[in-house]
Amino acid sequence: MRLFVANWKMHKTRAEARTFAEELGGLLGDSPPPVELSIAPPLTALDAARDALGRWSLAAQNVAAERQGAFTGEVSATMLADAGCRYAIVGHSERRRLFGEDDALLARKLERVREAGLLPIFCVGETEEERLAGRTEEVLERQAGALAGDPKEAPLVVAYEPVWAIGTGRAATVSDAASARSRLAELLSARRDLRILYGGSVGPENARELLDCGVDGFLIGGASLSASAFARIAGIA
Ligand code: PEP
């Protein structure tokens, strides 16, 4: 089933999360589209979103690489599962770029996610500089290397998110997204249950054509802050 994930980043209070959930429920009505919707709120709004969202799932935006202990400010995979999360986003480019998360750290996070019974949404994607240098495939291959120790039979979601398309209003072209999708499918061909999402400036106006490149859904930032934009994207599927 197609998956649409709303990554709210550092946006929305608990009250705003409840309002969003009410609006989304109202917009989708009694016969919602046959897709899976997941919301990744900030940690402080996880419980409010969980209580208000009903049947849609919750995702964590980040997860600690350690199991437990003296790691001030960190939140473990077990705690996120306990809070009701189904998914955990691992390796978002903002975590890689702003918080220095590297492939080795991300491989450890993946292990914690699996131990806790969460499903990873593993993000990969090249920077503008890497793209212009024709290095997209090489970057995807290196980043996918962090999945080497991840069990092949376990369900996996990978999000192709070109860094230059995130939050810029400049989405990848259908043909670029399609070739990255094919390359990832090839690199991960041993996986039994794989969904490949696209992320990067997806909105109601370009969702249709981007879905046609063969992806299994989207990871959505900016447009997911509006219940009506998110509902329109889900409705397109
Ligand atoms: C993201 O943050 O994962 C993302 C895709 O953001 P946006 O949709 O705003 O480009």
| Chain segment 121-169, per-residue pLDDT in tens | 999 999 999 999 999 999 999 999 999 999 999 999 999 999 999 999 9
CA dihedral sign, ordered 9, 64, 200, 158: negative
pLDDT bucket at 51, cuts 50 / 70 / 90: confident
> In ligand 1, which atom is closest to the CA atom of 203?
8
Confidence of residue 36 (pLDDT cuts 50, 70, 90): very high
**Residue of the CA atom closest to atom 6 of ligand 1:** 221
Catalogue the E-assigned strands of 172-213.
194-199
Q: Which of 94, 101, 130, 161 is catalytic?
A: 161
> Percentage of the chain surpassing pLDDT 70?
100
Report the mean per-residue pLDDT for the chain: 96
Identify the residue whose C-alpha is closest to ligand 1 atom 1.
221
Give residue 76's pLDDT: 98
Q: Which residues contact 35 (CB under 8 A, 6 or more apart)?
A: 1, 2, 3, 4, 217, 234, 237
Listed range (36-45, 52-61, 152-161) with the worst mean pLDDT: 52-61
The model's confidence at residue 94, banded by pLDDT at 50, 70 and 90, is very high
* Structure confidence at residue 217 (pLDDT): 97
d(CA 154, CA 137): 24
Helices 46-53 and 14-28 cross at an angle (nearest 10°) of 20
Supply the pLDDT for residue 220: 98
Q: Phi then psi for 48, rounded to 5 degrees?
A: -60, -45
The tens digit of pLDDT for each residue in 95-126 reads 999 999 999 999 999 999 999 999 999 999 99
Q: Please say if 92 is a catalytic residue.
A: yes
How distant, in Å, are the alpha carbons of 3, 181, 211 from that of 64? 24, 28, 32
* Active site annotation includes 11: no
Give the pLDDT band of residue 30 (cuts 50, 70, 90). confident
Contact status, residue 10 vs residue 94, Cβ threshold 8 Å:
no
Rounded CA separation 132/126 (Å) = 10
Which DSSP helix (H) or strand (E) runs through 232?
helix 227-236
Q: How confident is the model at residue 172 (pLDDT cuts 50, 70, 90)?
A: very high
Query: What is the pTM for the complete model shown?
Result: 0.96
Reduce the DSSP state of residue 178 to 3 states and report it: helix
What residues line ligand 1, using a CB cutoff of 6 Å? Answer: 7, 161, 166-167, 199-202, 219-223
